[in-house]
């Protein structure tokens, strides 16, 4: 396992203990790819406190690490947007560039620079916790020599501080 995969795996397991109490949200996720290589995986997200909130919409900086059963890792950072409804439901989305490390030519996506984008819907469970489902896409946005992309569906649990 090389350094990026090791870092992604370590991030997924140690970030929850390392984040300070000032963190806004920590999300744990399990995913399944739906269009390429049939892998399952796990991800951890850390969202900083929103830098802007207006009319139920919050904008935050996000850090994300993913690791999958094909021994592939991805680390990135970007922008997260969430819109809350009075009923406890919310919609969310994010986009972020990051570094992708594949274990074999089978998992090659065309570049080490891969962008992860997602959209999801969820429901708050009390004041601090939530569950959501999400559709994600990992792609190099045509910056690599090929761009097959990888789609995934996720179930997520999050907690806010």
Ordered by start, the domain boundaries in the chain are: 3-39+46-134+141-150
Mean pLDDT computed over 74-83: 98
Provide the CB-side half-sphere exposure for 94 (13 A, CA).
Answer: 24
Mean pLDDT computed over 103-123: 96
Q: Any idea what DSSP says for residue 50? A: P
Write down the pTM of the prediction. 0.84
For the stretch 37-66, pLDDT in tens is 889 999 999 999 999 999 999 999 999 999
**pLDDT tier at 1, thresholds 50, 70, 90:** low
Structure tokens at 131: 């569950």
How far apart are alpha carbons 52 and 50 in whole angstroms?
5
Compute CA 141 distance to the chain's CA centroid, rounded to the nearest angstrom: 17
Q: Which of 83, 95, 102 has the alpha carbon at shortest distance from 4?
A: 102
How far apart are alpha carbons 8 and 88 in whole angstroms?
32
């Amino acid at each position: 396992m090389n350094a990026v995969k090791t870092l992604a795996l370590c991030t997924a397991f140690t970030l929850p203990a390392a984040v300070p109490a000032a963190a806004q949200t920590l999300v744990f996720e399990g995913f399944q790819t739906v269009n390429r290589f049939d892998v399952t995986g796990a991800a951890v997200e850390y969202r900083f406190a929103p830098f802007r909130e207006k009319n139920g919409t919050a904008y935050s900086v996000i850090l994300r690490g993913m690791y999958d059963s094909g021994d592939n890792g991805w680390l990135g950072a970007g922008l997260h947007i969430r819109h809350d409804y009075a009923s406890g439901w919310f919609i969310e989305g994010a986009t972020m560039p990051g570094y992708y490390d594949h274990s074999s030519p089978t998992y090659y996506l065309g570049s080490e620079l891969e962008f992860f984008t997602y959209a999801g819907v969820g429901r708050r469970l009390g004041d601090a916790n939530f569950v959501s489902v999400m559709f994600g896409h990992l792609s190099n946005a045509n910056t690599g020599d090929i761009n097959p992309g990888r789609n995934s569906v996720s179930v997520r649990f999050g907690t806010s501080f």
